[in-house]
Amino acid sequence: MITYESTSRTVKAGGLNLHYHEAGSPDGPVVILLHGGGPGASAWSNFGRNLPHFARDFRTLLLDQPCFGKSDKPELDKDFFSFAADATAALMDELGIEKAHFIGNSLGGGTATRIALDHPDKVDKLLLMGPGGISLNLFSADPTEGIKRLFEFAGSAEPTRERMRAFLTTLVYDPALVTDELVEERYAQATDPEAALGNARMGASFARWPQDTMLWREAHRITCPVLLTWGREDRVNPVDGAFVALKAIPDARLHVFPRCGHWAQTEAAAEFNRLATAFFLHG
């Protein structure tokens, strides 16, 4: 049975303690899933429900990116996307993984894109879900509603459950998915002092190296096959942000989920799982 505890692993790679979850055949093709950001985010909270599906066909790793979950929360010496990409590459080297498919959601989409740019030999195919960095809003206001609610929670002297609920509600099309249990879980994680430190260090890197996070300017250099996926009602990274990347990446295609927000892996789980598996196995 796949549980948090049974899949939990920690390894030292690139000078960092990196926590991840692993399931599936050790001899199968590898897929690495990189979670989004936001208060209380982790690999398990983002992709734990999807792990049983991917474990059927892949050696599947869900990575707590640096500054999140149970991974180390160091001060960063470069922008977050580059730092996390290098850490992921070091993890692969430590585990003897030469090449992998990647799924990157939101913040994790930016990390996955940077891996494809800086470590192209390690990437087979790339699936980006409402990704940060490579999206460029053409028609939507910036900052978006979701980013405003995130800043309201993170920037508050005393973050509240109400502000956590307001942020989480922007991530989904159906507000019923934001249950009291989910709010409490994410609130407890986000207000943990160590998690707050990691979030602050991650955020500081974006302020210090903003130019390096504009990955859409480098999208034309991505050589692997890319599947861009978006929720039509995404209020964090709206769907119009997809079009520059779609035009710039040489081998890109786009799939849009109707009645879906920023969490396609949750709101459109069955369709998302089938789509990702077909793309990785059959192209």
Distance CA 194, CA 30 (A): 30
Place of tokens 């920690």: 10
Read off the tokens for 61.
Answer: 């790793």
Helix, strand, coil shares of the chain, percent, nearest 5, are 45, 15, 35
DSSP calls for 197-224? HHHHHHHHHHHHSGGGG-GGGGGGG--S
| Cβ contact 260:238 at 8 Å | no
| Cβ contact 138:115 at 8 Å | no
The pair phi, psi for residue 228, each rounded to 5°, is -85, 130
DSSP calls for 113-178? HHHHHH-GGGEEEEEEES-SSS---SSS-SS-HHHHHHHHHHT-SS--HHHHHHHHHTT-SSGGGS
> Annotated active-site positions, please?
262
